[in-house]
Each structure stands twice: as C-alpha cells, then as structure tokens.
Copies of this chain bind each other. A is one copy, B any other.
Amino acid sequence: MPLDALAAVLASEAPAPGGGSASAAVGALGAALLEMVCALTLGKEKYREAEGVLRPAFEELHGLRAVLLAGVDRDSAAYEGVSRAMSMPKGTDAEKEARKVAVQSALRSATDVPLDVARACARALAHAPAVAANGNPNAVTDAGCGARFLHAALNGALYNVAINLASIKDADFVASRSAEAEDLRRAGEGSLAAALSAVDAALSR
C-alpha cells in the first residue's frame, strides 16, 4: 500500500489498521535505515574493521525488515479477528460460551502478533549501537533515526500487547506475555541509550 494511502486509512474512522499496524510499519522503516548504514559501510576498504560486526547485523536486519512489513497486515487481521468474535451471537448459553471461547482465542492472537513485532523491533534495535559506532560516519544520523524509530515502534507494539492482555482471562498466558513485554521494553531502553550515545559521540567529533 502506498505510504499516503496507508496514512489516509490510518487517519480514518476505521479502527484497523491502527497503532499496531503503524508500529510494524515504523519498525520496518527503522530496520531499513540501519540496513542502509551497513550497506554504506560493508565492502569499503576504509571500513574493513567494521566487517565482522556489521555483516551479521546487516543480514539479520534484512530478515527483520520482512517480519516487520508482514506485521502491518497481520496486526490488522488479528484486530479484525477480535471484532468478528465479538459480534458472534449471544442469545443462548451455548452461543455465549462459543463467543467467549472465540473472543479469548482471538485476543491471544491479537496479543501475540504485536508481541512478534515488538520482538523484531527489539532485535533490530539491539544492533543500533554497533551500527552507529562502527558504521560509515557520514550516515551516523541515519543510524540515530533508525534507532529512534525502532524504539518508538517497539513501545507502540507493546501498547497493543498490553491493551489485549487486559481482556484475557488465562492468568498463565497473561503472566508470561507481560514478563516478556517488560523484558523487551527494558532491553529497548538500553539499546536506545547506547545507540544515541554512539551517535552523539560521532557528531561531536
């Protein structure tokens, strides 16, 4: 979908796509910027020493970008799954029970999809400090942009994890996903701080 069309459909009254899909999109743009910095560094004699760190980062970032782009549609589909389950009939006790089971199942998907997006953002963001510190210094602000976008996208995805967890009755599911979400959030703070320090150090040189 073209960027302007994506922005237009986000801006509309339709609740999906919403912040979850947009987080996946912003994460994909962040991963792409870190890839660009790697591409402007790898294979250049001048930055030979960066090869060992940036080559594996470049390859992982490429896969993460694809995961994040796929997350744009996956998140909207998961949201629609919840809406569909919510609109199931609730006339009889059997219908009520079937609806409850379907809603809970859809909510688990609508939690796990943004959690996948958050994981991919956190993994991409974990490369940002090394990309900023070892990448082509002419592109260090691009690494800074990439880190900031991934951090925002990570936290955006985690909002969507939290909001769905709030309606899930399975205590074990809630406990495991909450714990992972908190780990990802904390890792993201550390990666962002390290990346921004590396960018600031390069800019003040």
The reply to whether B36 and A12 contact each other, CB–CB distance below 8 Å, is yes
Chain A interface residue count, Cβ-Cβ cutoff 8 angstroms = 53
Q: Are B25 and A39 in contact (CB under 8 A)?
A: no
Instruction: Say if the beta carbon of A98 comes within 8 Å of chain B.
Output: no
A76-93: CB near B (< 8 Å → 1, else 0) gives 000000000000000000
Q: Provide the bound-state CA to CA distance between A153 and B146, in Å.
A: 10
A104-119 interface with B by 8 A CB criterion? none
Closest to A157 in B: B145
Is A57 an interface position by the 8 A CB rule? no
The CA-CA distance from A8 to B33 in the complex, in Å, is: 10
A149 to B156, CA, bound (A): 8
A94 proximity list for chain B (CB < 8 A) = none
| CB neighbors of B among A1-57 (8 A) | 1-4, 6-8, 10-13, 15, 18-19, 22-23, 25-26, 28-29, 31-33, 35-36, 39-40
| Residues of B contacting A15 in the complex (Cβ-Cβ under 8 angstroms) | 36, 40, 138-139
Contacts of A19 in B (CB 8 A): 33, 141-142, 144-146
